[in-house]
Amino acid sequence: MNEIQKSDLFEVGKEGVKRILTPDDKKIDIIEFDDKKLCYVKSAMGYPAVYPMYETHFESKADAVLMDLDGTSVHSESFWMWVIEQTTARLLNNSNFKRESEDEPFISGHSVSEHLQYMIDKYAKGTSLEEARKYYFEIVNYEMNEILKGRGKQDAFTPAPNLKEFLTTVKKEGIKIGLVTSGLYEKAMPEIISAFKQLDMGDPVDFYDSIITAGQALRKGQTGTLGELAPKPHPWLYAETARVGLGIHFESRHKVIGIEDSSAGVVSIKLAGFSCVGISGGNIEKSGISDMCDYHINGLMEMLDIIL
């Protein structure tokens, strides 16, 4: 974390502010006072928010494990970043367009609209988010259909190493499992269904105790549900999975732990009041958010030493 003197809403030395910290990706600011911490979550969509930051600690044995989808349960982030790249290529009418490696922390882990707005601001000024979303969903629908027919990108969705062994062990221990994703339903469910088919694990809806996605995409001719303005790093997806999906009260949050590979997910877990395990392979380190993780692991099976 990097110390700064002033954020959009707060300034060191004013109104009791002692220190302001921001990670390398500058997606959040942490505001420290004598008696509390706040987290200022920025927004490419124009709707920032300020949340209290709770002190977190974990007490084993876990009552529940909250698991991210992309990058943690299923390796698919490269596919979705490729879709963002292809969408930008269409906006620019340039089939040879390639994103830069430095874009990764800004086009993974957040909502579709956040990702697209970032690319518009950097590469396609003058184009609209609405046009980008239109292209994005055209590409997604085509690619998903091709994958289901066995003609698409064969490496699009791959189960994380030892996913089956980890999930079945946790299940046998009587620990509830929630699956949490910032992905919209239409892109998230084919991923986990594909992974479960590859692992011969049946229907994921029957296996998980709760699955919370970012809802349905809003497009002309159909209704949508809130998901583009309140995904990770906001706390609501993880909070809803635990409180509504699993029936765990906020007061029992120290028996709940989340696992993430993205900076946005880490912030989301912490703002929901839970301890967080950061798994390698995502953008946690690149984003400068590692210090917010309570634990770090390289693979899912290492998680068992923490939760049991």
- Give the model confidence (pLDDT) of 74-126 as tens digits: 998 888 899 999 999 999 999 999 999 889 888 886 778 889 999 999 999 99
For residue 305, how many other CB atoms are within 10 A of its CB?
Answer: 10
pLDDT, residue 206, reads 96
- Does any domain span residue 58? no
> Are 122 and 201 found together in one domain?
no
- Does any domain span residue 170? yes
- How many angstroms separate the CA atoms of 206 and 285, rounded? 34
pLDDT, residue 46, reads 86
Nearest Cα to 105, choosing from 178, 27, 18? 27
> Are 302 and 265 found together in one domain?
yes
Of 148, 178, 198, the residue at which a domain comes to its end is 148
- Does any domain span residue 57? no
Of 128, 148, 168, the residue at which a domain comes to its end is 148
| Cβ–Cβ < 8 Å for 164, 118 | no
> Are 88 and 70 found together in one domain?
no
> Are 115 and 201 found together in one domain?
no
- Does any domain span residue 260? yes
- Give the model confidence (pLDDT) of 1-36 as tens digits: 899 999 999 999 999 999 999 999 899 999 999 999
> Are 123 and 94 found together in one domain?
yes
pLDDT at 295 over 90: yes
> Are 68 and 209 found together in one domain?
yes
- Give the model confidence (pLDDT) of 186-244 as tens digits: 788 888 988 898 899 999 999 999 999 988 777 777 677 777 788 899 999 999 999 99
pLDDT, residue 203, reads 92
pLDDT, residue 152, reads 67
- Does any domain span residue 72? yes
> Are 40 and 14 found together in one domain?
yes
Of 102, 122, 148, the residue at which a domain comes to its end is 148
The structural domain count of the chain equals 3
- Give the model confidence (pLDDT) of 224-236 as tens digits: 777 778 889 999 9
Amino acid at 19: R
pLDDT at 145 over 90: no
- How many angstroms separate the CA atoms of 279 and 273, rounded? 19
**Strand order through the sheet with 28-32:** 2-4, 19-22, 28-32, 37-41, 49-52
Nearest Cα to 131, choosing from 227, 220, 221? 220
Average pLDDT over all residues of the chain = 91
> Are 233 and 264 found together in one domain?
yes
> Are 200 and 118 found together in one domain?
no
CA distances (Å), origin 34, targets 37, 291, 294:
8, 20, 22
What CATH number is attached to the domain comprising 176? 3.40.50.1000
pLDDT, residue 126, reads 93
Domain holding 39, by residue range, is 2-52
- Does any domain span residue 275? yes
pLDDT at 258 over 90: yes
> Are 293 and 210 found together in one domain?
yes
Amino acid at 120: I
- Does any domain span residue 122? yes
| Between 112 and 65, the higher pLDDT residue | 65
> Are 179 and 246 found together in one domain?
yes
> Are 86 and 187 found together in one domain?
no
- Model confidence, pTM: 0.84
- Does any domain span residue 41? yes
pLDDT, residue 230, reads 85
- How many angstroms separate the CA atoms of 167 and 2, rounded? 37
